[in-house]
């Protein structure tokens, strides 16, 4: 059936008669043949995003009956444990198999050494226990870093304006052990102190937690894309920036160095963060290692899509799926994304 006969358009008609009288075009390949129908496109599709690829980062707050919106992260609220468990019904129901937890710590529990971070009955250990009781199969990944617990909003102990490395690592080790003790499946050090992967691996093994994995934030950049996350946790640095420990956005070879170190120290999965402005880094790391590679589609990347969609400027679902697919195509085996629920729903509906 010809809906729109091309002969009806004068210029096209001219070209048609020209094509008919000239010899056949020497086209051996016509790539468009494989794009002709949805069935063909599906058959030759190289990258297929699935719900198994996704880890859902979630924010937890103390108390009960709490569900607090974060203006810069629409759709990603902070939950107290009771409501988090309710929310997880939906998350698990959508087929999402893994979550990453981040706490909002009240100011009175913060100090420079992040002491609350290794409280065995602190917010994260309590949350992990409750989740493991309700959803034993759900993979629970905990973030290991001091910033939510630090009066300074830094990922390490501060002395005279400097972030101390080895002293911080000692605290991170205690934090990781507290999370393992509570039942975390994996710990995810996001602090970028030197040597922390090895120190944590050694301590976990020494305490018998040989099956607790390490998802290492290996190539974590000093990025302006973390803004909305810092709103969610009220964890913005009180002075300066994070450039003495997080990586310079201009560097790529250094990412491979960080990855090599983390692998040598015992990382199970290496991560690149953020994702979108660093797709080349994801690609290089995937070529470089046989470990699974994770990428963090961070808060600012999420907020930009949500904001543009709210204005009606983009098609949110289409942009979300295109973005997540691009991260996977670049080489990520695993994607941490605040879009996990939306993506799971869209994929269920047929993408």
**Near ligand PBG by CB under 6 A, which window of 141-149, 165-173, 175-183, 317-325?**
141-149
The angle that helices 166-182 and 196-206 make with each other, rounded to 10 degrees, is: 40
Nearer to ligand PBG, 209 or 217 (CB): 217
Name the active-site residue from 110, 174, 242, 273.
273
Among 193, 298, 321, 334, contact with ligand PBG (rule: CB under 6 A): 298
C-beta of 44: minimal distance to ligand PBG in Å? 34
CB under 8 Å to 82, separation ≥6 — which residues? Answer: 64, 65
For residue 189, is it left (φ>0), alpha (ψ between -120 and 50) or beta? Answer: beta
Q: How far apart are CA 322 and CA 324, in angstroms?
A: 6
348 in active site = no
Using the contact rule CB under 6 A, the part of the chain among 15-23, 103-111, 142-150, 177-185 near ligand PBG is 142-150
SS3 102: strand
The residue among 75 and 93 lying less far from ligand PBG, judged by its C-beta, is 75
Kindly state whether residue 219 participates in binding ligand PBG, applying the rule CB under 6 A: no
Site string for ligand PBG, 299-318 (x = CB under 6 A): x-------------------
Is 273 among the catalytic positions? Answer: yes
Give the binding range for ligand PBG (CB under 6 A) out of 8-16, 60-68, 107-115, 222-230.
Answer: 222-230
Contacts with ligand PBG: how many residues (CB under 6 A)?
A: 12
185 binds ligand PBG (CB under 6 A): no
Helix (H, G, I), strand (E, B) or coil at 216: strand
Residue 196 or 286: which CB sits closer to ligand PBG? 196
Q: At what angle do helices 81-93 and 123-134 cross, to 10 degrees?
A: 40
CB closer to ligand PBG out of 275 and 344? 275
Cis peptide before 274 (omega within 30 of 0): yes
Which residue number, 115 or 288, has a Cβ lying nearer to ligand PBG?
Answer: 115
For residue 141, the SS3 value is strand
Q: Which residues pair with 216 in a beta bridge?
A: 270
CB 54 within 8 A of CB 344: yes
Task: Report the DSSP pairing between strands 162-163 and 269-273.
Answer: unpaired
Q: Which candidate, 220, 68, 73, 210, places its Cα nearest to that of 144?
A: 220
Burial class (CB in 10 A: 0-12, 13-18, 19+), 259: buried
**String of contacts with ligand PBG for each residue 230-269, x by CB under 6 A:** x-----------x---------------------------
If the CB atoms of residues 145 and 281 are measured against ligand PBG, the closer one turns out to be 145
Cα–Cα distance between 164 and 167 in angstroms, integer? 6
Among 229, 245, 278, 339, binds ligand PBG (CB under 6 A): 229
Q: Is 140 in the site for ligand PBG (CB under 6 A)?
A: no
Using DSSP, state whether 122 is helix, strand or coil.
coil
The set of catalytic residues is: 220, 273
* Site residues for ligand PBG per CB under 6 A: 143, 145, 147, 155, 190-191, 226, 229-230, 242, 298-299
């Amino acid at each position: 059936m010809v809906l729109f006969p091309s002969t009806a358009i004068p210029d096209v008609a001219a070209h048609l008669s020209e094509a008919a009288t000239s010899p056949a075009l020497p086209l051996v390949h016509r790539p468009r043949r494989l794009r002709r129908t949805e069935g063909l496109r599906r058959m030759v599709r190289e990258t297929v995003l699935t719900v198994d690829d996704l880890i859902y980062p979630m924010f937890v707050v103390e108390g009960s009956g709490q569900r607090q919106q974060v203006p810069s992260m629409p759709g990603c609220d902070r939950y107290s444990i009771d409501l988090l468990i309710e929310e997880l019904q939906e998350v698990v129901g959508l087929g999402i198999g893994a979550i990453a937890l981040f706490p909002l710590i009240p100011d009175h529990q913060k100090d420079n050494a992040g002491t609350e971070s290794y409280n065995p009955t602190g917010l994260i250990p309590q949350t992990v226990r409750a989740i493991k009781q309700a959803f034993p199969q759900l993979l629970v990944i905990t973030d290991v870093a001091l910033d939510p617990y630090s009066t300074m909003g830094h990922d390490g102990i501060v002395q005279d304006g400097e972030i101390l490395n080895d002293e911080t690592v000692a605290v991170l080790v205690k934090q990781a052990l507290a999370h393992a003790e509570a039942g975390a499946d994996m710990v995810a050090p996001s602090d970028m102190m030197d040597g922390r992967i090895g120190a944590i691996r050694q301590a976990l093994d020494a305490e018998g937690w040989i099956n607790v994995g390490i998802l290492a934030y290996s190539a974590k950049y000093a990025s302006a894309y973390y803004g909305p996350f810092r709103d969610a946790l009220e964890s913005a640095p009180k002075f300066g920036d994070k450039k003495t420990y997080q990586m310079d956005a201009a560097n790529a070879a250094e990412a491979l160095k960080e990855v090599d170190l983390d692998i040598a120290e015992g990382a199970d999965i290496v991560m690149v963060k953020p994702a979108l402005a660093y797709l080349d880094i994801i690609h290089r790391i995937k070529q470089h290692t046989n470990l699974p590679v994770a990428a963090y589609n961070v808060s600012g990347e999420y907020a930009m899509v949500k904001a543009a969609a709210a204005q009606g400027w983009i098609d949110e679902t289409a942009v979300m799926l295109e973005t997540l697919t691009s991260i996977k195509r670049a080489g990520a085996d695993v994607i941490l994304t605040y879009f996990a629920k939306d993506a799971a729903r869209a994929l269920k509906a047929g993408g």
